[in-house]
C-alpha cells in the first residue's frame, strides 16, 4: 500500500451534533442583523428546548448523515496512511524523555491519598467524581493528627532519598563510557 506524504493528507472534519446543526440554522435566520453571539446562543438554546421530537428529527437526521460522511472519510484517511487517531480514549499519554528516568518522589499528602483513597472508594458516603474524592482527602489531610502526618512525611523523606540515589546512578550511567 502506498502512503501519501503527510502534508497531502488532511484529517477529516469531525461529525456535527444535531444541536450544532440547529444553531447553524438559527444563525442563518439572523444573518444581516446585529446580534451578540451570547444572546443568539441563549435564544437558540431556549428554542431547542421547546422543539418537539418531530421538529428535532430533521436536525438529528442531518447529524446522522454527517456521521456517516465522517466514518467514510476517516476510513479513507486511515487507508491512505493517515495517522493521529487513538484506538481508545486516554491511550495516548505523554512519556518521559527517557524511559529509564527515575520516578519523582511522592509528597506526604500523596502517600496519604494513596492509602486513604483506596478506603474511600468502598465508602458509600463518598460516591461521585474524582474531584469529590480529592476534596474529601484534602479535608481529611487538613484535620489529620500530627502523628498520622508524621508517618506519611517519613514515607515522603524515604522516597526523596530513593529518588536522589536513582538520579545519582542515572548520572553515573551517563558519564561512564559505553563498553
| Final residue before a domain boundary, out of 27, 59, 79 | 79
If phi over 0 gives left and psi between -120 and 50 gives alpha, with beta otherwise, what is residue 84? left
Scan for cell 536522589, then name that residue. 164
pTM of the predicted protein model: 0.44
Percent of the residues in the chain that have a pLDDT greater than 70, as a whole number: 80
- Residue with the bigger pLDDT between 9 and 3: it is 9
| Final residue before a domain boundary, out of 41, 61, 79 | 79
Quick one: pLDDT at residue 93? 53
Is there a contact between 106 and 174 (Cβ–Cβ < 8 Å)?
no
Quick one: pLDDT at residue 1? 46
CA distance 112 to 141: 8
Residue 3 has pLDDT above 60, yes or no: no
Give me the domain span that covers residue 30. Answer: 18-79
Query: What is the secondary structure of 12-47 as a DSSP string?
Result: PPPPPPHHHHHHHHHHHHTTTS---HHHHHHHHHHH
Residue 14 has pLDDT above 80, yes or no: yes
Amino acid at each position: 500500500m502506498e502512503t501519501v506524504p503527510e502534508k497531502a493528507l488532511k484529517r477529516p472534519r469531525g461529525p456535527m451534533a444535531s444541536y450544532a446543526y440547529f444553531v447553524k440554522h438559527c444563525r442563518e435566520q439572523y444573518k444581516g442583523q446585529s446580534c451578540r453571539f451570547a444572546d443568539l446562543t441563549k435564544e437558540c438554546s431556549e428554542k431547542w428546548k421547546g422543539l418537539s421530537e418531530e421538529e428535532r428529527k430533521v436536525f438529528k437526521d442531518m447529524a446522522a448523515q454527517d456521521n456517516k460522511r465522517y466514518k467514510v472519510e476517516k476510513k479513507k484517511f486511515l487507508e491512505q496512511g493517515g495517522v493521529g487517531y487513538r484506538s481508545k480514549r486516554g491511550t495516548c499519554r505523554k512519556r518521559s524523555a527517557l524511559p529509564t528516568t527515575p520516578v519523582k518522589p511522592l509528597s506526604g499528602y500523596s502517600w496519604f491519598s494513596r492509602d486513604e483513597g483506596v478506603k474511600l472508594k468502598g465508602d458509600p458516603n463518598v460516591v461521585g467524581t474524582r474531584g469529590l474524592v480529592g476534596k474529601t482527602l484534602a479535608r481529611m489531610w487538613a484535620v489529620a493528627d500530627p502523628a498520622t502526618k508524621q508517618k506519611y512525611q517519613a514515607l515522603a523523606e524515604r522516597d526523596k532519598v530513593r529518588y536522589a540515589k536513582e538520579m545519582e546512578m542515572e548520572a553515573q550511567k551517563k558519564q561512564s563510557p559505553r563498553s
